[in-house]
Structure 1
């Protein structure tokens, strides 16, 4: 049984559908400005054709009529025509550039806004360099497609029509002969288009691979240096660059294969025009002006005709990047806008998990029937071995991921029934992987509360034991932290992050190893600040250093996604279970080993 023939509508990113979409959705918005550009293109095309026509008149006035006055008049007219052409060309170029810049900026905004509407899980199996490539190359490709179309219709097609009109006026027979070069050229170009699509896709993904290696090498430069991976990274990026270079070389060969044919056919047509036109002047009494006017129009028409012939190749090359952009923009948001949902209304900030199940991948549960309550104004500590699901609990509370079954309630309200923004606005979070933005210390603390005053920022820094080291810098709070905060030590980054949480003054506090990167002295200071922060606030804290949560109101021991023990510190020690085992192990590790005395 034969398959039904494919329709062009079967592929939502097919060339014709994509072109129509870009024109209607993005180009049509600027139709008035495009109309102005078209008008200027028409003036430039008419000026080009008129200059070819006037050349014939000048030749006749000089060599046939020998009329100096008319030659002078035509010369002045020529200056006016070329001035008009220059002004029109300038005007349409500026207008089209402004339109392209506006479309480029709009697409970059659209893509970034779309990425901000995605969940954390969306980025888990993707590299950030992919989105950088889509943001730059993809957005540029959209403007290239529209520019190609506008220039093809407005500049090249109008110029070709005007010049062909001059050719037909001067010699209809030779004009018809000139059209014979088009069919074989179009036949060759049609065969090249499919090959161009595959090469353009490979080139796009190859450039993304280069960005990926570059980004990882620079962000992990400490690891690269520590493990002497410089040559390994050079080899890796060299392989990426070599692959892209090979693809670009193939693209250059394939996309320009039509040039030899076009040049050969053009040469044949020009040679024929010279022979026939010369014969008409010598043997048939035609004026030399007709001959020169026709030949000038033909030569001027050759470039726009060649660009129109190559339009399909260049369009399909640019459409690959446009497709890469729109694939992301069109995909359903994994974290759709839920601003229409009611806001979270807090009275006590009581957090409850009821029989919650969750897994990052199907059939691989991370949390299994998780249930516990964090009472208002109390501290609940989650402890246990790595990979047990502790950090996942905090991710679910922030709705970075959505649980599969069960319920998470805050003051009796399901967190899935309220807006994410209202939930996150009333939650302060400090993660184990501290992230600082490329900004000043002041700016990074202020991200906790947009519009925070200097007094609030300084108070938060003091509470986090960060004020003293901040003021030791020459620029104080205006000190740049560098990319990812690399200008600060690990402990300093941690305290800035805690200050960012403190300035938010949220009723629910989530701390994931908030003191992990601190030395003993700083840990004591920050722990005191955290104790102050947690007063009268509902707090869930994850800790591996058990001495930091000895005073917690409830301690949950989590293993394999389940709560295996729960209680206060003293109660759990008396039970002599998993918690007591962890505590004794850490206590032994923290006890200094005395040196063995040498025997006499």
Structure 2
């Protein structure tokens, strides 16, 4: 079938479409404020035009009529008009700034809200610095575009029309001479717009690359220093900065390429006006005041005329950032809101996986028709080699991903048929890589249950074996944990995470190698905290250190996305299968080969 060429309307992010959207979706909300700003701009333009005209009268009073009282009167009128212009200019600038701040805040909130509706898979394919760039530069670009449009219409266009009005009033023929430079200038500027679009896009992505390198270097500063990567990271960011610098220089050359020609054309226009105006005063007995007033208006009209001529270039430069933000906001959320679904209602908290299959990518099966039941109030452990699909099970239970085939059922309810919010509200998760927010210990625990009381926070910390070390700090629960919790040790971070899960008081507990990265002493303390957390709750735990799950009620050995063995610790050791092999290997590596007939 023949392919028809794309129409301009097929691209939802052309300059015309973007401008219309920004005006109708965002600018129109503040139309009353914009109307007030336009009125003040008109007042400023009128005052400027009036002052320009009055200056000519001052010249006539001085050089033609020799009238000192007249000079004083028109001078006083000039002062009043310029004062009115100053007040009007202040007023409309303040109004536009307030509107810009409101629109900027709205877009930043909107983008963040959209990101919170995305799935885990969405973020795994992108770098966080990309969203920082969209949040900052993209949101600001939208306000810059609207400000350009408002200033172009309300300030520059009105000022230009007012100045042209004075010019025409003083001398229509000389006004025509002054405007001959406009058509050739517009032809030159049209050719530069396409080039600006590409450069502006490269500038945006280059800035995002700089942020990416900076963020990774600072967040991984321990690794950078441990592996003496300072020069490597410096070289990388130097290259990123050099690319942005070169691109910025190209943009400067392209954006300002029209200036020499415009100045030359403007020079011809000024020269023509001076020649004709001088001739009119000398040979045609025109008043010097009219000539002075005309030239003042003409020279004052040049700046708004230049800004209007460059408007297309400047708009296309800023529209790239606006597009970057709107592309994310407009895209369908990968984690659709399902708050209209019924809430999960728990009685026993029995979890069942029924023929569950899952793939992150087509043709790469991670789970293959997996079946098991996590009994209420008991501990079910998943063990096995890395890459077997254990962590994927927890991701599916939290609905970070949706099952490809089969179903996960809790107390007879398919988790796909209930709202995510109700599912996650009744589930507490503690992982190996604990994430603490840059806040106090108190607030990091309270994140498990917004609105938690001080007593609930302290009780959770005590149960997590964290209260004593917290109170050893001078600020106690008000101690800042630093970015990612770097001011605490690994064991302390893990116990804070357990306390956060405890204060939630959820009936389902998911643990993903919560002690794998700890030393023996810290592991013992965290393990004691976890015992408090799991008591009388349905628990699914992933562990590589098999001695931490020896007392689990059920142990499932997961390999290749399937359960190859299932039973209690002593049963599995007697079978001398995969579990016994893992257990024997770990004890041999630890230099403490234990008898296989261990008791539960």
Range class of TM-score, shorter chain: over 0.9
Q: Report the CA distance between 1:5 and its aligned residue.
A: 5.8
Aligned partners of 1:257, 1:514: CA distance in 2, in Å?
A: 61
1:530 equivalent in structure 2: 530
2:462 equivalent in structure 1: 462
Aligned partners of 1:293, 1:531: CA distance in 2, in Å?
A: 89
Structure 2: segments with no counterpart, 5+ residues:
594-600
1:409 equivalent in structure 2: 409
The 3-state SS of whatever aligns with 1:65 is coil
Q: Deviations over 1:103-147 (max 9, x none)?
A: 000000000000000000000110000000000000000000000
More off after superposition, 524-533 vs 220-229: 524-533
Tell whether the 8 Å contact from 1:203 to 1:247 is kept in structure 2 after alignment: yes
Q: Deviations over 1:28-77 (max 9, x none)?
A: 00000000000000000001111111111111111111111111111111
1:192 equivalent in structure 2: 192
CA shift in 2, pair 1:106/1:171, >3 Å: same
2:74 equivalent in structure 1: 74
1:276-315 alignment, distance < 5 Å: 276-315=276-315
Tell whether the 8 Å contact from 1:498 to 1:514 is kept in structure 2 after alignment: no
1:549 equivalent in structure 2: 549
Structure 1: segments with no counterpart, 5+ residues:
594-600
Q: Report the CA distance between 1:521 and its aligned residue.
A: 2.8
Alignment of 1:357 with 2:357, yes or no, is yes
2:427 equivalent in structure 1: 427
Aligned partners of 1:442, 1:351: CA distance in 2, in Å?
A: 32
Tell whether the 8 Å contact from 1:464 to 1:529 is kept in structure 2 after alignment: yes
2:167 equivalent in structure 1: 167
More off after superposition, 175-184 vs 113-122: 175-184
Cα RMSD over matched residues?
1.2
Aligned partners of 1:7, 1:302: CA distance in 2, in Å?
A: 37
2:328 equivalent in structure 1: 328
Aligned partners of 1:346, 1:2: CA distance in 2, in Å?
A: 57
The 3-state SS of whatever aligns with 2:355 is strand
The 3-state SS of whatever aligns with 1:509 is strand
Alignment of 1:440 with 2:473, yes or no, is no
Tell whether the 8 Å contact from 1:8 to 1:17 is kept in structure 2 after alignment: no
The 3-state SS of whatever aligns with 1:511 is strand
Aligned partners of 1:534, 1:214: CA distance in 2, in Å?
A: 40
More off after superposition, 472-481 vs 99-108: 472-481
Q: Report the CA distance between 1:2 and its aligned residue.
A: 9.8
1:597 equivalent in structure 2: none
Q: Report the CA distance between 1:529 and its aligned residue.
A: 2.8
Aligned partners of 2:6, 2:586: CA distance in 1, in Å?
A: 67
Q: Report the CA distance between 1:515 and its aligned residue.
A: 1.7
The 3-state SS of whatever aligns with 1:474 is coil
2:237 equivalent in structure 1: 237
1:25 equivalent in structure 2: 25
TM-score of the aligned structures, taking structure 2 as reference length: 0.97
Alignment of 1:262 with 2:262, yes or no, is yes
2:596 equivalent in structure 1: none
Q: Report the CA distance between 1:468 and its aligned residue.
A: 1.5
Tell whether the 8 Å contact from 2:192 to 2:313 is kept in structure 1 after alignment: yes
2:176 equivalent in structure 1: 176
- How many residues get paired? 593
Q: Report the CA distance between 1:592 and its aligned residue.
A: 5.2
Tell whether the 8 Å contact from 2:179 to 2:269 is kept in structure 1 after alignment: no
1:42 equivalent in structure 2: 42
Alignment of 1:504 with 2:490, yes or no, is no
Aligned partners of 2:349, 2:33: CA distance in 1, in Å?
A: 55
Tell whether the 8 Å contact from 1:178 to 1:269 is kept in structure 2 after alignment: yes
Q: Report the CA distance between 1:4 and its aligned residue.
A: 5.4
The 3-state SS of whatever aligns with 2:565 is strand
Q: Deviations over 1:497-545 (max 9, x none)?
A: 1111111110000011112233323323332332232222110000111
Alignment of 1:121 with 2:133, yes or no, is no
Aligned partners of 1:132, 1:552: CA distance in 2, in Å?
A: 44
Alignment of 1:568 with 2:565, yes or no, is no
Tell whether the 8 Å contact from 1:432 to 1:514 is kept in structure 2 after alignment: yes
Q: Report the CA distance between 1:439 and its aligned residue.
A: 0.5
The 3-state SS of whatever aligns with 1:186 is helix
The 3-state SS of whatever aligns with 1:416 is helix
